[in-house]
Chains A and B, each alone.
Chain A
């Protein structure tokens, strides 16, 4: 493949072509070819920076290929391919184009060698991805998309502010390791934090992902947050604050997920919790921890996509993703059930599944560096993961009480996409060296020790036993149709309420003041119009004599000035 600067280009060109391709099958084949072509553009390239040029005296580098960006480029391409395969049946041009642009922007951002390129693609992911939510084409989805867009674009704006400050401070826009010591780096950190769904900045995630289309959510789950993890790993490795942020992130979503009814929102909480593990890894910042973050991001994209795919397939056939409306589906969709269970076991980190070989890197790193309480939080969070993703998702969808849905098995292309993803999850779990071989640092780590396998099995199976006991005793909380408040309540309810109170007060004052001000403004505009309007002295066609008079005036003025 010729060098073209950034693989994002392939996606963008394809996004331009795709709307004009007929028939539908040809278009789908073209769509599937895009990630492959994109991958080929950097697959065999030697490490280095490509697509460099000078933009107003700033060094821009479109593609920095090194050990870190390579892994993310690889998994993003893979995720794009799987998501597009899963969406084979979708005939909506908007979604197809948005998926391409979104994946392309994600890749472009990961390869960005400088902050300006990063910013451009950063906003690109925000703007392209919102169409996957709006593609649902309902009132609620539109409002949700707007909220999502505000958060995402807000993140971009803060990033831009940070970049501008950073450039003023250092005179460079290179994207490399930063320290949290100036407003510039704090702003950049905050921008990354929004996209990474840090606690209290996280609600866009749980709000928006369940609102996207079935296929859209699968795509969404892969890129935005992992891009943020990548950016943190690149910019802020070893920042101690991240350890505590990450630990909090692993814990609190567990409780929300346990009582959430919408299964795709459960998965969004679970996504938040998994991000926590990665953020802890970045915060610890040792080679082992960073390897853990990268490996976990890699595995996580796969098994999270698999879980979203299986819930999506159920939703595709039954028309709902609410736990209270589902159950007993293994009778209709046994293959989907099996893939879902593979995803569930992967995320719960059962030995021989991919989560086991990646999460343990982070846990070991936290223990190695003596962070006992962080380590403990991660172990508790692991139990939580088992609860909401490992048990709750498959159990309430495919088992529990039979809700009476008698539907067909998922379509073939969905099964194929899930099958490939499931095979990858197991493959990585059985042959960890495949993944360890491409991690940024040389790894000397053996996940399969007797201690590790036995203790992990104990942890998971005893927790499973607890679940069984609670179910049998009826103590397990029933699934109820409800909305659960989270931090987003502050800006969806509290803020509007407060604002409407304030608005009432302001309105009265405003009406009074505006009457006065409008009068002034009107007369100002009238004055401007009198001077500048088509008939005003400044716009009129002047007789030659008056023109010459002006010349005389200006000449006289300048002469006087010159003489003084």
Chain B
């Protein structure tokens, strides 16, 4: 997913250097499959204990997992649909809004470079 520019790790804090391996595409893929494996394990775990639910629907194996997956996707797709309606240019409320102002005014480090200027 992420490309480290020229892949160098000098100048990074030691902790960051420790973590830097994770965003190599190969490791990201590994992480993905690890997550998938954990999810399947969790789903299967439902058969190993007696569930104490409040509603009958909770008794269904791995219902929480399936529900979470579907709900998450639904949220994203609905939000994408919503964005089609509500999206406006960033300077929509100018000049009575902070959206296009330089955010460093909020008290950033004097050395901060700020985001890219508004296109």
Contact = CB atoms under 8 A, between A and B. Distances in A.
Interface of A: 90, 92, 135-141, 143-144, 210-216, 254-256, 258-259, 262, 315-322, 324-328, 330-332, 334-335, 364, 367-368, 372, 375, 379-380, 383-384, 386-387, 399-402, 404-407, 409, 449-451, 454-468, 470-472, 475-477, 480-486, 492-493
B49 A454 contact: yes
Contacts of B62: 458
Rank and list the top 9 A-B pairs by shortest CB-CB distance, nearest first.
A319-B112, A320-B115, A325-B115, A258-B79, A367-B54, A319-B114, A458-B65, A143-B96, A462-B65
Given A315-B106, A316-B112, A484-B86, A332 B92 contact: no
Contact of A462 (B68, B83, B89, B106): B68
Given A214-B106, A462-B39, A472 B32 contact: yes
A138 B72 contact: no
Given A214-B108, A481-B90, A483-B97, A476 B76 contact: yes
B75 A451 contact: no
Contacts of B104: 319-320
A324 to B, nearest CB: 8
Nearest to B43: A458
Contact of A318 (B15, B89, B113): B113
Interface in B58-99: 58, 62, 64-73, 75-76, 78-80, 82-83, 85-93, 95-99
B3 A402 contact: yes
Contact of B39 (A92, A210, A372, A465): A465
- Most chain B beta carbons < 10 A, residue from A387, A467, A482: A482
Contact of A330 (B3, B19, B91, B99): B19
Contacts of A492: 93, 96
6 contacts: A211-B97, A318-B112, A319-B104, A458-B68, A462-B68, A464-B35
B95 A139 contact: yes
A470 to B, nearest CB: 6
Nearest to B83: A259
Given A255-B82, A319-B112, A334 B15 contact: yes
Contacts of A387: 72, 75-76
Contact of A331 (B16, B70, B73, B96): B16
Contacts, number: 255
- Most chain B beta carbons < 10 A, residue from A324, A372, A464: A464
A454 B67 CA distance: 14
B98 A210 contact: yes
Interface of B: 1-5, 11-13, 15-16, 19-20, 23, 32, 35-36, 38-39, 42-43, 45-46, 49-55, 58, 62, 64-73, 75-76, 78-80, 82-83, 85-93, 95-99, 101-109, 112-116, 118-119
Contact of A367 (B20, B55, B72): B55
A315 B108 contact: yes
B93 A483 contact: yes
B55 A372 contact: yes
Contacts of A92: 107
A200 to B, nearest CB: 15
A39 to B, nearest CB: 27
Contact of B3 (A140, A315, A401, A458): A401
B95 A455 contact: no
A142 to B, nearest CB: 9
A454 B46 contact: yes
B36 A465 contact: yes
Contacts of A320: 103-104, 114-115
A463 B62 CA distance: 13
Given A316-B112, A319-B108, A454-B42, A481 B118 contact: yes
B103 to A, nearest CB: 5
A86 to B, nearest CB: 11
Contact of B71 (A139, A326, A463): A463
B97 A383 contact: no
Contacts of B73: 466, 470
B109 A316 contact: yes
B80 A334 contact: no
Contacts of A210: 98
B74 to A, nearest CB: 8
Nearest to A383: B71
A379 B67 contact: yes
Given A136-B106, A144-B97, A258-B75, A402 B5 contact: yes
B99 A140 contact: yes
Nearest to B119: A481
B69 A484 contact: no
Contacts of B101: 138-141
B16 A334 contact: yes
A407 B115 CA distance: 13
A343 B64 CA distance: 23
A404 B5 contact: yes
B81 to A, nearest CB: 9
Given A255-B78, A477-B83, A462 B69 contact: yes
A384 B13 CA distance: 33
Given A211-B98, A334-B15, A468-B32, A136 B105 contact: yes
A43 B96 CA distance: 44
A482 B103 contact: no
A414 B79 CA distance: 34
B88 A459 contact: no
B39 A380 contact: no
B112 to A, nearest CB: 3
B16 A330 contact: yes
Given A458-B65, A462-B68, 14 more contacts: A144-B96, A211-B97, A214-B108, A255-B79, A259-B82, A326-B115, A332-B12, A401-B2, A454-B45, A456-B64, A458-B62, A459-B65, A481-B118, A483-B90
B6 to A, nearest CB: 11
A378 to B, nearest CB: 12
Nearest to B55: A372
A375 B12 CA distance: 46
A466 B118 contact: no
Contacts of B13: 332, 334-335, 409
Nearest to A210: B98
Contact of A477 (B2, B52, B79, B116): B79
